[in-house]
């Protein structure tokens, strides 16, 4: 079967899309790049052997899918306008986040008016370890209801963090968060270090939730210097499911609980309770996360293909873009509410971090254990 022909708009994060769609297993055929014509865009076109277009009017008529990986109003870019221009030509659009809610609403209206498919993509929710976490969370919640959520991340990827939570819990509402409480001056004076995280307590999908956000940004490198991107724990009666980072691993931790008869037992070796024989923590899937090189080369391009396949499935089914769009409109609203509670982002200046390998920490293990 002939694959739909697709263009990638933008060559910043769009380079991940190019790698994903150039693969033979891609659901679409990479047919070109739409960009302003920078040296980087020209180099990308040469690398992937596709034409470089500088205006939507230049696109050939057989292009039916576009991945818009261009900033929108939040970052001062034309992404939403470009998406609507492409949809007016009958082109189905997958758009990389973030968007303001009013921009998203405009894109959804344009999709309906032009009878095309449209999806907003938060990317991280489609990365394989995150999909594994979401699948495990759904299996867990079929057995036991959630009791709490503890989530942490950086402000740059707050929207994807909330999207992962929504996918894992199956809904967004009801939600509500209290403003973060400032540290008392006497406590703040105890450290010369900056305080990177701000904590909000509230409710997400009806579940008590603590959200910790690194609300800092280096304007010279706005995509760098996050301490972590995503870390999520969902707690139930039987234990906790944790996504350690955006690339895994996924861990199941059994809840610590001694039976009542332990109080009168002659020793803990004679309790004979089944749950005490369970491993305290067990990886679900690989026990370690892949390297960042593997993530950039393999996991992220694969995630792009997953997202594009959902778009092409929508095309095949004639799906109403508003079905998925309503969910993302809710996410946009929630993200805006949380960022308003957090207040202005703290601007920082950071040097290049010094990186460590696990082996650097293991070298003193013998000394400690003996």
Is residue 205 within 8 Å of residue 175, measured between CB atoms? yes
pLDDT digits (tens, 9 = 90+) for 41-82: 999 999 999 999 999 999 999 999 999 999 998 888 999 999
What is residue 107's predicted lDDT score, i.e. its pLDDT? 98
Using CB atoms within 10 A of its CB, is residue 317 exposed (0-12), middle (13-18) or buried (19+)?
Answer: exposed
Residue 207 φ then ψ, to 5°: -110, 135
Residues 6+ apart with CB under 8 A from 122: 97, 159, 160, 163, 331
The answer on pLDDT for 265 being more than 70 is: no
Summarize pLDDT for 329-363 with one digit per residue, the tens: 999 999 999 999 999 999 999 999 999 999 888 87
Looking at residues 313-322, what average pLDDT do you find? Answer: 97
The answer to whether residue 267 scores a pLDDT higher than 60 is: no
Q: What confidence category does residue 136 fall into, taking pLDDT thresholds of 50, 70 and 90?
A: very high
- pLDDT tens track for 3-40: 999 999 999 999 999 999 999 999 999 999 999 999 99
In this structure, are strands 63-68 and 92-96 parallel, antiparallel, or unpaired? parallel
Residues in Cβ contact with 191 at an 8 Å cutoff, skipping those fewer than 6 apart: none
Strands 5-9 and 29-34: parallel
The pTM (predicted TM-score) of the whole model is 0.94
Compute the average pLDDT of residues 260-283: 69
* pLDDT tens figures, 281-299: 999 999 999 999 999 999 9
Residue 254 has pLDDT above 80, yes or no: yes
Q: Is residue 331 classed as helix, strand or coil in its secondary structure?
A: helix
In whole angstroms, what is the distance from residue 306 CA to residue 322 CA? 20
d(C-alpha 42, C-alpha 40), whole Å: 5
Q: How many angstroms separate the CA atoms of 1 and 27, rounded? A: 11
The pLDDT of residue 269? 63
pLDDT of amino acid 1: 73
CB-based contact 324:112 (threshold 8 Å): no
**Local structure of residue 237 (DSSP, 8 states):** S
The predicted structure's pLDDT at residue 179: 97
Kindly state the DSSP code that residue 173 receives in the 8-state scheme: -
Q: What is the DSSP letter of 250?
A: E
Q: Compute CA 2 distance to the chain's CA centroid, rounded to the nearest angstrom.
A: 31
Asked if omega into 98 is within 30° of 0 (cis), the reply is yes
Cis peptide before 174 (omega within 30 of 0): yes
Task: Name the band, by pLDDT with cuts 50, 70 and 90, for residue 369.
Answer: low
Residue 263: the pLDDT is 53
pLDDT digits 0-9 by tens, 72-130: 988 889 999 999 999 999 999 999 999 999 999 999 999 999 999 999 999 999 999 99
- The CATH code for residues 5-123+297-317 is 3.40.50.720
Boundaries of every domain in the chain:
5-123+297-317, 128-246+250-284
pLDDT for 46: 98
Identify the CATH homologous superfamily for domain 128-246+250-284: Dihydrodipicolinate Reductase; domain 2 (3.30.360.10)
pLDDT 10s digits, 171-230: 999 999 999 999 999 999 999 999 999 999 999 999 999 999 999 999 999 888 999 999
pLDDT at residue 185, rounded to an integer: 96
Q: Please say whether the beta carbons of 96 and 18 come within 8 A.
A: no
State the Cα–Cα distance between residues 166 and 162, nearest whole angstrom: 6
């Amino acid at each position: 079967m002939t694959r739909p022909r697709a263009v990638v708009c933008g060559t910043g994060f769009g380079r991940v899309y190019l790698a994903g769609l150039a693969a033979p297993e891609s659901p679409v055929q990479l047919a070109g790049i739409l960009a302003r014509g920078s040296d980087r865009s020209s180099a990308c076109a040469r690398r992937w052997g596709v034409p470089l277009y500088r205006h939507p009017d230049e696109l050939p008529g057989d292009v039916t899918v576009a991945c818009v990986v261009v900033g929108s109003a939040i970052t001062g870019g034309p992404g939403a306008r470009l998406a609507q221009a492409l949809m007016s030509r009958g082109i189905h659009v997958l758009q990389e986040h973030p968007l303001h809610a009013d921009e998203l609403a405009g894109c959804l209206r344009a999709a309906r008016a032009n009878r095309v498919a449209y999806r907003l993509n938060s990317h991280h929710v489609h990365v394989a370890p995150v999909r594994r976490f979401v699948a495990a969370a759904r299996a867990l919640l079929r057995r036991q209801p959630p009791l709490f959520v503890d989530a942490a991340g950086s402000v740059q990827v707050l929207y994807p963090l909330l999207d992962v939570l929504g996918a894992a819990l199956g809904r967004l509402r009801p939600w509500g968060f209290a403003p973060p409480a400032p540290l008392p001056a006497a406590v703040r004076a105890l450290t010369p270090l900056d305080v990177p995280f701000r904590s909000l307590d509230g409710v997400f999908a009806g579940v008590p939730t603590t959200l910790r956000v690194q609300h800092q940004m280096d304007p010279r490198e706005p995509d760098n210097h996050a301490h972590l991107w995503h870390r999520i724990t969902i707690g139930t009666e039987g234990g906790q499911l944790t996504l350690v980072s955006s690339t895994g691993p996924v861990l199941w931790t059994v809840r610590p609980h001694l039976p009542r008869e332990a109080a009168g037992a002659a020793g803990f070796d004679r309790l004979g309770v089944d749950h005490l024989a369970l491993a305290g923590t067990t990886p679900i899937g690989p026990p370690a996360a892949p390297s960042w090189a593997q993530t950039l080369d393999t996991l992220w391009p694969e995630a792009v293909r997953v997202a594009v396949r959902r778009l092409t499935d929508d095309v095949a089914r004639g799906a109403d873009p508003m079905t998925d769009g309503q969910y993302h409109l809710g996410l946009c609203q929630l993200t805006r509410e949380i960022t308003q509670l957090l207040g202005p982002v703290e601007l920082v200046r950071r040097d290049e971090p010094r990186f460590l390998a696990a082996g650097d920490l293991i070298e003193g293990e013998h000394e400690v254990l003996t």
